[in-house]
Structure formats: C-alpha cells, structure tokens
Structure 1
Amino acid sequence: MASNTSVATTLSPTRETLSSSQLISSSISSLSASSASSRHSSSQISKIYRQSSTLFLTRRLPESLSTILPVITPPESEETNAEKGPAPVSKASRTTRIKVWSLYLTILNAIVELDPDEGKQAFGSSDWRALVTKVRDGEVWEEVVQNGYGGVEGDVDSDVVINLATLLLAHARSQKINQTRLETYLAASTTPNLDISTQLQNHTRSISPHKRNAHASGTDTPRDLNARVKILELYTLHVLLRNNEWDYAREFISISSVLDEERREAFLQALQSLQDEQHEAVRREKEEKRYQEEQLKKDIEDARRRRAENEARERKREEEARVKREGSEVDYGVEDRPSTSRSNGKSSSVRKPTNTSSPTNRKLPPPTLVTRVSNILSNIRTLLLENMAGGFKTRPMFLLQMLAFIIGILVVSSRKEVRERVKRAIAIAWGKVGGTVRMGGKVSYI
C-alpha cells in the first residue's frame, strides 16, 4: 500500500510536468499561429495602404478614403449588443500602423481644404460636412484612440500624436480641444499602466506587455526622445500660445524633465521671440488702426471743405448772375450822353471841356449840323446795338415783343388812311428839316 502510495506520489509530479509542457507547447503553437496571422494581416494592410496612397497621389480622394476605411474601422459583430473589437490596423506592425494612420489623417486634411462646392460634389453634401466636422471638432482624435489603440490614450504612437496635433492645429475650431488631448496623452504616456485587464487586452492585440512598458516612458530610444520633443514643441510653442497661455508655456518648459539644458534654453528663446513678435504685431495693429482713423477724419474734413468751397462758389455765381441781371434791367433809351442845351430855339449838345482848369476858359463853338446828326445816329446805334442786344440776352421775351411791335406797325401801316397820315407827317418833317438846313446855310453865309 505504501508502495502504491509512493508510486502515485512519484508519478504525480510527472503528470504535472507533462501538463505544463503541453500548456507551454500549446501556447507556443498559439503564439506562432498568431504571429503568422499577424504577418499575413500586416502584409494585407500594407497592400491596402499602397493602393490608397496611390489613389491619394492622383487626387482621387473619395476612392482613397474608401480604400483605407476598412483597415481603420472595427469589423461589424454578428451579436447585437457585442462590443466592437479593434480595427485590423491595430494588429499590424508599428511601422505599418503609423503609415496607415498618417495616410488617413493626410486624406482628411486634404478633404477639409477642399472648396465647399468641390467637396460636396466629390463626397456628397452630408458626407463632406460630416468629415469636416469630425476634424474641426477634434472627434478624429477619439476615433484613432478607440479604433487603433483600444481606447488607451498612452498607447498611441508618438508619430500619430504629432500628426493629430498638427491636423487640429490647422483646422480645429478651438485649440482647447487640442490642448486637452495633448495634456491627456503626455500624462498617460509617462505613467506606467498597472491594469492587468488592459495588459491582457494588449496581448490579444499582439502587443506584448514589454512593448507597452517600453512605450510608456516615451523616451527609451533616440527616436522616441525626438518624437517626445516634437510633441512638446507643438504643445508649448503652438497650442498653448494659440490659447494665450504664455506664462504656463514658459513654466512647462522650465520644469520639463524631457528637455536638457540646451533644448530648454532654445525653447525659452523661441518662446520669447514669439512673444516679442506678438507684441510687435499688436503694436502695428494699433498703429494701423490709428492711422486709418486719422485718415478717415482727414477724408471727412476734406469732404466738408470741398463741399463748403462748392457752396461758396455756387453762391458767388448766383450773386454775379443776380447783379448782372439787375444791371441789365434798365429803361431803354439814350443814357449817359452829354447834356443838350437849346439856344435860339435849336437843340445843340454841349461837350464839357476835359480840362476844367484851363486858364483861358474859352467857350466852345456851337455844334454843326453834321455833329448833331452824328450824335443822333450814335444814340440810335447805342439804343439798337447795346441796350437792345443786352435786352435780348437777359430778356428773351423782349425779342418776341419787338417782333410783335413791328408786326403791329406793319398791320397799321397797311391801312390807307394811316399811310396818308404818315406821308403827311413825313412831308412836314422833311419840310422842317429843309427849313433848318436853309437856316443853317444862311447863318454859315453870314
């Protein structure tokens, strides 16, 4: 009995050893199959990546997006309430994973930069607006974390984080989203993940715990360190400054453990230069605003001055026209002529001597008949040419009145009795003229 017991006791470890060996071999087989499947999946993803990249380079954005979407989208589950698994890209190698996500983000950037009409024509109105909203609201960051990294923020590859931050920096409506996401990533990537369930999930995604722990620090290799510095550059010198967090950016740079003294000094100098540029831009903006306000005031004053000058010129023109009109509205007749005097019943015009201070003070001889006739003709000419011409210019109706008067004379003269009276009056006038001429001849003879 004891012998049987000892045999059983001796055989028991052997069974346990065999069971452990079977488990190990089974695990090795499973890992080998998983590795083979992962290589096959990575090869297929690389092929899809090349196809989508070629379509993107030829500016066939809809085809390029539809080609890459199955790789970055979790497969549909047959169960209704089942939780979606990771996207196929999560099982690819790190290099392939970074390439796929970088291409996807590049395609989204090109879509957002499309003209609205061109984007709606290429993708349809609703789809294009949904893609643009995904980028501008920062939803694309959550999509990458959930579909590609199982919801673990710190697992996101640093190159993918750089592309995400750059995309949001260019197109996000507010950089607050970008700032929050970068702060979450920086905090998560520097904190080791002690959650066993998360590590098991990473194991099912063919990511070993060793790889996860190595990625947690973010600075294990020169490549990781350079990527970390690039993320800090985006965060401190771009995102925080867009949110006007100048003091916080300077403090973050000063206490960062990733930056050495040389890099820290370079970051602080760049920050100071950017702040000086901002102050200079604000000063130029204020100066430009002040200049525009002064120019506007000057233009207003010039407009007022020109309006006042035009009004004064118009008033002067109206005043001159009024004076000219009043000066032309005079009685028509003989004006401003030498005064006439009568001697011996005869009219004669006496011209005043030009030199009143003449010591002799002689009397001028009486005007001759020729002088009188010349004066009469001159007065008639003045009446007709000057006064009547001026009347025609200032009073156009005067011409019509004159024509009406002449027509009236002609009508009256057409009557026989009027013509006879006119003839008698003319004969009497000529008789008087003849007598005057004879009288003048006798006086001249005497």
Structure 2
Amino acid sequence: MAFNESYIAALSPTATEMHSSSHGLSTSISSLSSSLSAARHSSSSHISKTYRQASTLFLTRRLPEALSTVLPIITPTPSEDAEGSFEPAPVAKASRTTRIKVWSLYLTILNAIVELDPDEGKDAFGTQEWRAICTKVREGEVWEEVVRNGYHGVEGDVDSDVVINRATLLLTHARNQILNQKRLEAYLASANMPNLDISDRFRDGSITPRARFRSPAKGKGAASGADTPRDLNARVKILELYTLHVLLRNNEWDYAREFISISPVLDEERREAFLQALQSLQEEQQEAERHEREERQRQEDKVRREIEEARRLRAENEEREKKRLEEERAQARRESAAKEVDYGVEKPPRRNSNAGSSSSRSKPPANGKQPNGSSSRPLPSTKKGSKAVVAPPSLGTRAFMIISNLKAIVDGMTSSFQANPMLLMRTLAFIMAFLLMFSRKSIREKITRMLGTSWDKIKATAGMGVKISYL
C-alpha cells in the first residue's frame, strides 16, 4: 500500500506535465486556426479589392490593364517549402462567390480581347501576345487553365456558373465544338459521381496538407449537382448549352434527343420543353438547308441560263457574220462581173411592120437601078456582114462602174500599203516631187503646150472620124 502511494506520488508530476502539455497543444491549434482564419480573411479581402480594380478597368475598356490586374490572383505562385513546387492560386482558396466572380471576369475579359479587330488587338497587346490569347481561347486551353489553377485539377469541383461561362466562350470562338463537347461530358460525368472523400470529417481534429489545398467539399447533393435551386438552374443551363447548342453544332441530333430523354436532372415539364426546342431547331435547320438547296439550284439555273443565252447570242452573231460575208462575196462577184462587161456584144435589131414595109418599098429593082435611072449606092449600114449599132450604157451604169473602179483602186492601194509600207513612202515622195516639178513655171508652160498640141490632134482625129461616118 505504501508502495502504491509512493508510486502514485512519483507519477503525479508526469501526469501534471502531460495535462499541461495537452492544454498547450490545444492552445497552439486554436492559435493556428485563428491565424489561418485571419490569413484567409486577408487573402479574401485582397482578392475582392483586386476584383473591383479589374472590373473598373474592364468597364472603361482598358483591357490590357484589366488582364494584368486579374492575372496575379488566378496564377499559382512558387512555394517556399520545396524547390520547384507551386502554391495554388489565391482564387483557389477564396469563397465560392468570390471564385465565381473572379473567373467570370477573367473569361469576360478574354472574350472582349478576342473580339477586338486584329489591328486594335495588336496595338493594345502586341502581335505575339494577342495571337497567344486568341489561340488559348480558340483551342480551348482556357478550360484546362481554369480547372488546374482554380480547382486543383478536379473537373467535377468547378462551379456551375464558371462552367457555363467557359462553355459559352468556346461556343462563340472555338474553331469547332468537339473539344467543348468532350469537356462538358467530362464535367457532367465527374459531377455526377458521389464524393467519397471523408477527410472533411476530421478537419476539426487535424489539419492535413490535402485539406489546405482541396476545393470546397460538395455536400450530399453533389451526386446530382443540385444542392440548391440555384445549382439546379445552373445544371439545367449547362444541359441546355450541351444538348441544344454544342451537340447540334456537331450534328448530334439523335444523341441530344436521347440525352434529354434520360437525364435525371430534368423533370417532365423541362424535358418536354427541351424536346420541343430540339424539334424546332431541327425543323429550322432543315428549312434553312432546303432554302440553301433552292438558292443553290437557282444560282445554278441562272448560270445555266446565262450560258445558254451566251451561246445563243454567239450563234446569232456567227450567223449574222456569215450572212454579211456571203453578201460581201456576192457584192464582190457582182462588181467583178460588172468589170468584165463587154459593151461590143451584138444585139439583134428590133424590127417592126413599118420597117418591113419601108424596106419593101425601098427595095431596088432587079436590074439594080432606080426608077429615075440613077444607080443606087448602098449605105454602109446595109452592107452584108456589118455589125448592128449597140446602144450606149445609161448614166447610172456609168456612175456605178466609175465608183466600183475607184473603190477597187482604193482597196488595192490600201492592201498594197498594208503589205508594203515603203510603197506609201515612195508614193508620197513621188507626189511631193511631182508637186515640186509643177511649181516651176517653165515646166508648167511646157506641159501646157504639150497638152494643147495633143488636144488639137485629138480634135482633128475626131473630126476626121465624124466626116467619114457622115460619108
């Protein structure tokens, strides 16, 4: 008994020390929790202040300053514990409302930057940076950035409003909707999985490294993603984007109808509304395709009519040209025939009854003597073998012949000049020499005397011919 009392007395200081140590540890945990709470509050205050500054810059269309202001709170920072590691972005430790605001502002700024004109964007950010931002948005890299920096790489932890903004951004600017469809399917699949992480149950008793960096835990309703009416409305909005926009861009009409029919989030009323909207969109697309086919058919018919009209006009022009050539050939043949007319061809003289009676009366007697005894001398025109006199051509025929000859001469000269340009130069030189020669008075007088002598000879010859004809 004395031994037990002495043993207890010996152990009592140790028990007292243990009790005091336990009390000190509890005090340390409480102070650490309070310091963490204070740090979290300070970080949340800094994030809210940064968000307000970036919002003001964005509203004043100062996009480069707004982007540079919001980037520090959504970018991981290097860690001091281990070399090469990074602390999560400040926005990852903020409250749900703050996270949604910050990420929504960031996505809105990116949308405004991509919508800038190329020249304006290059002037504001520089060519390389502006192209890098546009590529990040259009290739869907921003989706992975949000999951990695804001939610520790857990797809299902992303807030519904942020998912809606990301899907809308890709729906507007992505080159195709295949990546958007895959991302939404991954999010819906991960969000529908139950949360089996029970580390939050021991969060009050101990603080683990995972608890420092994990996203806000989802409650029991996380399996359906509809903890509150707000979450339900957000999930319905995501399903609307996925089924009525993204899938339709990828021409997945049957899959969209099947997904709407089996979705557990939609009630009967919403499901019927979604199916009706899907049917209306499909009918509109079919109508648009029909109009497009009709318009394409009209364009093809118009082009075909234009081609046929061009062929018809070409055929008419060819026919007209052919007729013109035929007329020109006929005209040339007529002109050639007119040139070859022989005006010395005999024409049988016209005889009438008066001429016959007068010839019978003027017929000499058989002895070849006139009644009065004088011998008859036959006229030259009544000699046997003489040719009948041909009537001279009319004035119109002569004018036509002169004009035809002149035209033939001009055509011949034109073709000759075109074939041999030197001939034109020689002709001009000859004309100039001729004019210079006639400019001398002695030559003009000599030529005048020669022409006068020639004309006198012609008149004398003509007079002799008239006398002979008279005789």
Q: Same fold (TM over 0.5)?
A: yes
Match of 1:372 in 2: none
Query: Contact (CA 8 Å) 2:347, 2:390: kept in 1 or not?
Result: no
TM-aligned CA deviation for residue 163 of structure 1: 0.4
Match of 2:463 in 1: 427
SS in 2 for 1:414: helix
Alignment of 1:19-38 (within 5 A): 22-38=24-40
Distance in 1 separating the partners of 2:279 and 2:344 = 93
Aligned-residue RMSD, C-alpha: 3.9
TM-aligned CA deviation for residue 411 of structure 1: 7.0
Instruction: Write the deviation string for residues 253-276 of structure 1: whole angstroms up to 9, x where unpaired.
Output: 111111111001111111111122
Match of 1:251 in 2: 258
Change in 2 beyond 3 A, CA 1:114/1:177? same
Change in 2 beyond 3 A, CA 1:294/1:20? farther
Query: Contact (CA 8 Å) 1:53, 1:64: kept in 2 or not?
Result: yes
TM-aligned CA deviation for residue 56 of structure 1: 1.8
TM-aligned CA deviation for residue 84 of structure 1: 1.4
TM-aligned CA deviation for residue 315 of structure 1: 0.6
Instruction: Write the deviation string for residues 367-421 of structure 1: whole angstroms up to 9, x where unpaired.
Output: xxxxxxxx99974634542321233235426999xxx9xxxxx979927874553
Structure 2: segments with no counterpart, 5+ residues? 359-388, 415-430, 432-445
TM-aligned CA deviation for residue 282 of structure 1: 2.4
Query: Contact (CA 8 Å) 2:224, 2:265: kept in 1 or not?
Result: no
Distance in 2 separating the partners of 1:399 and 1:214 = 108
Match of 1:63 in 2: 65
Instruction: Write the deviation string for residues 13-35 of structure 1: whole angstroms up to 9, x where unpaired.
Output: 87776655544443333333222
SS in 1 for 2:86: coil
TM-aligned CA deviation for residue 324 of structure 1: 1.2
Match of 1:182 in 2: 184
Match of 2:212 in 1: 204
Distance in 2 separating the partners of 1:399 and 1:380 = 29
Match of 1:161 in 2: 163
Alignment of 1:94-109 (within 5 A): 94-109=96-111
Matched, 1:414 2:450: yes
Query: Contact (CA 8 Å) 2:152, 2:215: kept in 1 or not?
Result: no
Could you tell me which of 238, 242, 266 is aligned with 1:235? 242
TM-aligned CA deviation for residue 40 of structure 1: 1.9
Task: Give the TM-score taking structure 1 as reference length.
Answer: 0.77
TM-aligned CA deviation for residue 288 of structure 1: 2.6
Could you tell me which of 394, 397, 401 is aligned with 1:387? 401
Match of 1:326 in 2: 333
Could you tell me which of 306, 310, 313 is aligned with 1:303? 310
Distance in 2 separating the partners of 1:415 and 1:206 = 131
SS in 1 for 2:84: coil
Distance in 1 separating the partners of 2:398 and 2:334 = 17
Matched, 1:118 2:120: yes
Query: Contact (CA 8 Å) 1:154, 1:216: kept in 2 or not?
Result: no
Structure 1: segments with no counterpart, 5+ residues? 342-349, 354-360, 367-374, 405-409, 437-446
Distance in 2 separating the partners of 1:273 and 1:173 = 25
SS in 1 for 2:188: helix
Letter in 1 for 2:77: P
Task: Give the TM-score taking structure 2 as reference length.
Answer: 0.74
Alignment of 1:219-368 (within 5 A): 219-329=226-336, 330-331=338-339, 341=349
Distance in 2 separating the partners of 1:232 and 1:384 = 102
Query: Contact (CA 8 Å) 1:154, 1:185: kept in 2 or not?
Result: yes
Match of 1:44 in 2: 46
Letter in 2 for 1:226: N
Distance in 2 separating the partners of 1:28 and 1:336 = 148
Instruction: Write the deviation string for residues 268-321 of structure 1: whole angstroms up to 9, x where unpaired.
Output: 111111122222222223233333323222222222111111111111111111
TM-aligned CA deviation for residue 217 of structure 1: 4.3
Change in 2 beyond 3 A, CA 1:392/1:419? closer
Query: Contact (CA 8 Å) 1:253, 1:264: kept in 2 or not?
Result: yes
Query: Contact (CA 8 Å) 1:413, 1:419: kept in 2 or not?
Result: no
